[in-house]
Amino acid sequence: MLFDLLDISANGKYAKVVINDTSLVFPTLLTLTSTKENDINWLLGDSGKTLSINLPPSSLTQEVSNKKTTIQFVANILMHEPLQVSFVLNNLQKTTALIADRLKIVPPENALVMLQPNINPEILDAVTKTITKYKIRHVGITNFTPLLNTPRKALEFILRLRQLLPLDTLLYLFSPVPHTVVPILSYCGVDAFNSGYVRLATKSGLYLTAAGALPLTQLSEKICSCKICADLPISDLQKTLLENNAAGLDEHNMLIYQAKVREVRYALKQKDLRSYVEQNLFDTFTATALRLLDSSWTDMLISRTATWLSTPIYHLTPLSYYRPAVQAFQRRVRERFDILPYKKIVVIFPCSARKPYSFSKSHRKFLEVINSLPKDKQAYIQQLILTSPLGVIPRELELVYPAAHYDIPVTGLWSEEEKAIAVQQLTSVLLKARKQKPIVIAHVSDEYLTLCQEAEQKLKTTFVYTAAGSKPTAFQALANLKKTLLAKIADSPPHQYNKDLEFVRALSDYQFGLGIGEKLFPEPVTLKQKPNQNIFLFKGKNRIGVIHHRTGQLMLTVPMGMALAKQKKYYLKLHGEELKGSTIFAVGVFEADPEIRPSDGVVILNEKDELLGVGVASLSGSDMVSMSSGRAAKVKTKVKSLTKAHSG
């Protein structure tokens, strides 16, 4: 079996899998074709190529047909609630012996075991250990439907499986579920969905739409124009669809279900399944599950969510405030951003609709004020931008995903939730400078001003307000800001300042950890940027690096890699002396920094800690280690001579 993980978004995987020379893309559909012993029972795949699966064994007798299918059931582990834990564990021993026996005939890469929901840690631990021990790659889930009423349990079960099983184990949901929950379950880590729901809906006279199911007989006008629905008036459509064993309705419903799975695949290819899930808030299961995911499974979600994307993100509902990308950004700002010791003044600006902020009309005016100050005094100023839902964005990080990529309905109305997030983030950032006690100038008005006042109270300090009662862009307010700034820095001595170096170091800290910027860039650099192009780093006349303008990511070079490797940050370790090809496979990675998230820059080391090259991670650090197949990272630059690159 060849497993190629192409893209990942939280626990959702877009993967190419080749079994016995047939290649399929996941997530995909499972389709029941027959329950007769001699027929093909299940087909896996929804776009041309398919693989066959036999019928699952009974959970008590474990009898299984000997028919040759590509993927074969080897056991049905009896483990569902309300069965006693002791019984399940006891029975598992017998089932494990059976699995061992059957694997003498069925290769593990073709073997499938069936599980049932249970969230008991002891049971899940034992069951996943068996699966891992025998290297079984296909795991089925049945008896899942009652959990559609208990999203907490549903999440607990699937996410624990996703935590305990290697990421390249495929999860097949044999219980039929409505198409509306396919996106969220895919986001949780289910790889194949039983299209059986389509037939159940058909038999119940339900007409599927992207958002749900409608009773066909109650429709008074046509909704869809698929090939089944296209040419008929509604009354005929209703008749036609329900005649002949409702084959027409079934076909229409199948198209809707398929479309959902294909849209999930597309979203995964864009590495942003999260946005698609938020667009699919059609039922309480999805909404509840999303909420619980964000609050209880944050770390897991973040670790498998790309750090760097260029796609826009829309914050449409309060659920968007807690997206992993948002929480991860807030976390990195809290943990990896520092207000430098010589910053005597912090200026808080409101956000702008246009991103990055510097490109907006309002911020161009703000920056004009700053730039009009004496050059040797600008070093004292730290700019912060107050926004929702990211909270606080230091000027140095305004290009970074998702700071430059988010869009939010701008109404001037802040919900209590948004306010709380912003105040919390602002206070924790300002606390970083509590030693130097900077003067905080809040050049804000309206709701932003209220937020600043709340932060002020929390911090037990006083801010200077330079735009109260007017628009921050008003002439008077800008003049007031300039006057205040000049007054505050008047007594300070001139301070030499390399703005570009500060920028690159802050960005490096954000990417790799607090203090890493200084190690990567001990000497001054200059930045060169043309509109809508990548930003280049220069040391003198030599180009030494690049920042992607669409993602805001600083790309690693070999010299940076060497410095990073010395810090033991964002590294992965391989067996072997040199890099072959441009792909690092997970099977070769034996150690990796658990901080690594997909799309992060990484340094590639050998067993002796020598730098082999730099690249971009495809997986989280821990998944690289636990997975035995699939791509772990892409190599960007290889080190030519090992001796030169010794990092130790």
Partner 1 sequence: MERPVGMFSPQIYQIRKTALISRKAFAADKFIASWIEKDRLLTGIGNALVVILNSPGCQWGLGSEGGCSMCGYSNETSEGITAENLVAQFTQALHANAGKKFQSVKIFNSGSFLDEKEIPRTAQEVIFRHISEIPSVQEIVIESRPEFVIASALKRLTTILQPEQILEVGIGLESSSDQIRIHNINKGFLFVDFQKAVAIALAQKVRVKTYLLLKPPFLTEKEAITDAIQSAIDAIKAGSRSISINPVNIQTGTLVSALWKAGLYRSPWFWSLKTVIQTLWKRIAEENLTASVDRIVSDPSGAGTQKGIHNCRLCNRTASKLVKEYSLQQDPAILNELHCSCHSLWKELLEQEEATRDFSLHFFERSINQN
With binding defined as CB under 8 A, does residue 146 bind partner 1? yes
> In terms of CB distance, is 210 or 558 closer to partner 1?
210
Q: Should residue 220 be labelled a site residue for partner 1 when binding is judged by CB under 8 A? A: no
* Residue 350 touching partner 1 (CB under 8 A): no
Cα(328)–Cα(308) distance, integer angstroms: 11
Residue 465 contacts partner 1 per CB under 8 A: no
Binding residue for partner 1 (CB under 8 A) from 52, 110, 142, 626?
A: 142
Candidates 2, 23, 47, 87; binder of partner 1 (CB under 8 A) is: 87
Choosing from 16, 199, 331, 499, the residue that interacts with partner 1 (CB under 8 A) is 199
212 binds partner 1 (CB under 8 A): no
Specify the residue, 154 or 385, whose C-beta has the smaller distance to partner 1. Answer: 154
Instruction: Tell the smallest beta-carbon distance from residue 190 to partner 1 (Å).
Output: 14
Q: Between residues 100 and 148, which has the closer beta carbon with respect to partner 1?
A: 148
- Alpha-carbon dihedral angle through residues 277, 278, 280, 282, given to the nearest 10 degrees: 130
| One-character DSSP codes across 264-311 | HHHHHHTT-HHHHHHHT--SHHHHHHHHHHHHHSHHHHHHTS-S---S
CB 621 within 8 A of CB 596: yes
Q: Which of 6, 16, 22, 32 binds partner 1 (CB under 8 A)?
A: 32
Quick one: DSSP state of residue 385?
A: E
Asked if 45 interacts with partner 1 (CB under 8 A), we say: no
Q: Which of 349, 440, 438 is nearest to 386 (CA)?
A: 349
Angle of CA points 499, 504, 508, to nearest 5°: 150
Compute CA distances 324 → 297, 301, 471, 580, whole Å: 10, 6, 33, 34
Please report how close the Cβ of residue 206 comes to partner 1 at its closest, in angstroms: 6
Stretch in the footprint of partner 1 (CB under 8 A) among 55-63, 183-191, 268-276, 537-545: 55-63
User: Which of 121, 215, 312, 374 touches partner 1 (CB under 8 A)?
Assistant: 215
Q: How far is the CB of 287 from partner 1 (least distance, A)?
A: 19
Structure tokens at 282: 């059609």
93 belongs to the binding site for partner 1 (CB under 8 A): no
Of the residues 17, 55, 455, 635, which one makes contact with partner 1 according to CB under 8 A: 55
Q: Which residue has the tokens 């001037």?
A: 412
Q: How many residues bind partner 1 (CB under 8 A)?
A: 45
Q: Which residue has the tokens 């699939």?
A: 630
Least gap, CB of 46 to partner 1 (angstroms): 17
Distance CA 428, CA 334 (A): 7
Q: Residues 28, 50, 95, 194: which binds partner 1 (CB under 8 A)?
A: 194
Q: Can residue 61 be called a binding residue for partner 1 (CB under 8 A)? A: yes
Among 11, 69, 76, 307, binds partner 1 (CB under 8 A): 76
Which residues, 6 or more positions from 238, have their beta carbon under 8 angstroms from its beta carbon?
Answer: 216, 217, 219
* CB distance 494 to 507 below 8 Å: no
- Nearer Cβ to partner 1 (58/295): 58
Answer left, alpha or beta for residue 189, where phi above 0 means left and psi between -120 and 50 means alpha. Answer: left
From residue 513 to residue 532, the character string flagging contacts with partner 1 as x (rule: CB under 8 A) and all else as - is --------------------
Pick out residues in 228-287 that bind partner 1 (CB under 8 A): 245
Determine the Cα–Cα distance for residues 348 and 391; give it in Å rounded to an integer: 12
Contact criterion met (CB below 8 Å) for 65 and 104: no
Give residues in contact with partner 1 (CB under 8 A).
32, 35, 41-42, 55-61, 76, 80-84, 86-87, 91, 114, 142-146, 148-149, 174-176, 194, 196-197, 199-201, 203-206, 213, 215, 217, 245
